[in-house]
Amino acid sequence: QKEVEQNSGPLSVPEGAIASLNCTYSDRVSQSFFWYRQYSGKSPELIMSIYSNGDKEDGRFTAQLNKASQYVSLLIRDSQPSDSATYLCAVGGTGGGADGLTFGKGTHLIIQP
Amino acid sequence: GAVVSQHPSWVICKSGTSVKIECRSLDFQATTMFWYRQFPKQSLMLMATSNEGSKATYEQGVEKDKFLINHASLTLSTLTVTSAHPEDSSFYICSARLAGGYTDTQYFGPGTRLTVL
Q: What is the pLDDT of residue A99?
A: 78
Tell me the pLDDT band of B99, cut-offs 50, 70 and 90: low
Q: What is the pLDDT of residue A71?
A: 96
Nearest-angstrom CA–CA distance, B113 and B39: 10
CB A5 within 8 A of CB A25: yes
Tell me the pLDDT band of B100, cut-offs 50, 70 and 90: low
Chain B residues lying within 8 Å of A101, measured CB to CB: 34, 44, 46, 95, 106
Number of C-beta neighbours around residue A38 at 10 A: 22
More confident residue, B107 or B101: B107
Q: For residue A4, what is the DSSP state?
A: E
More confident residue, A31 or B101: A31
CB B19 within 8 A of CB B2: no
Residue ranges for chain A with pLDDT beneath 50: none
Q: What is the pLDDT of residue A111?
A: 97
Nearest-angstrom CA–CA distance, B42 and A21: 18
CB A107 within 8 A of CB A73: no
Task: Tell me the per-residue pLDDT of B15-59, one tens digit each, with 9 for 90 and over.
Answer: 999 999 999 999 888 888 999 999 988 889 999 999 888 889 999
Q: What is the pLDDT of residue B72?
A: 83
Nearest-neighbour CA in chain A from B32: distance (Å): 7
Chain A residues lying within 8 Å of B93, measured CB to CB: 43-44
Contact A32 B103 (CB under 8 A): yes
Average pLDDT over residues B89-97: 95
Q: What is the pLDDT of residue A93?
A: 74
> Which residue in A91, A89, A84 sits closest to A105, CA to CA?
A89
Q: What is the pLDDT of residue B102?
A: 58
Q: What is the pLDDT of residue A95?
A: 59
Number of C-beta neighbours around residue A39 at 10 A: 12
Binding-face residues of A in 16-75 toward B, CB within 8 A? 32, 34, 36, 41-46, 49, 51
Give percent of chain B with pLDDT exceeding 90: 72
Cβ neighbourhood burial of A105 (10 Å; 0-12, 13-18, 19+): middle
CB B6 within 8 A of CB B111: yes
Facing B105 at nearest CB: one of A49, A103, A106: A49
Q: For residue B98, what is the DSSP state?
A: P
Give percent of chain B with pLDDT exceeding 70: 94
More confident residue, B113 or A96: B113
Which residue type, as a one-letter code, is found at position B2? A
Number of C-beta neighbours around residue B107 at 10 A: 21
A9/B contact by beta carbon, under 8 A: no
Binding-face residues of B in 36-55 toward A, CB within 8 A? 36, 42-46, 49, 51
Task: Tell me the per-residue pLDDT of A79-98, one tens digit each, with 9 for 90 and over.
Answer: 999 999 999 999 987 655 56
Which residue type, as a one-letter code, is found at position B84? A
Q: What is the pLDDT of residue A94?
A: 66
More confident residue, A26 or B98: A26
User: What is the maximum alpha-carbon separation in chain B?
Assistant: 42
pLDDT at B69 over 80: yes
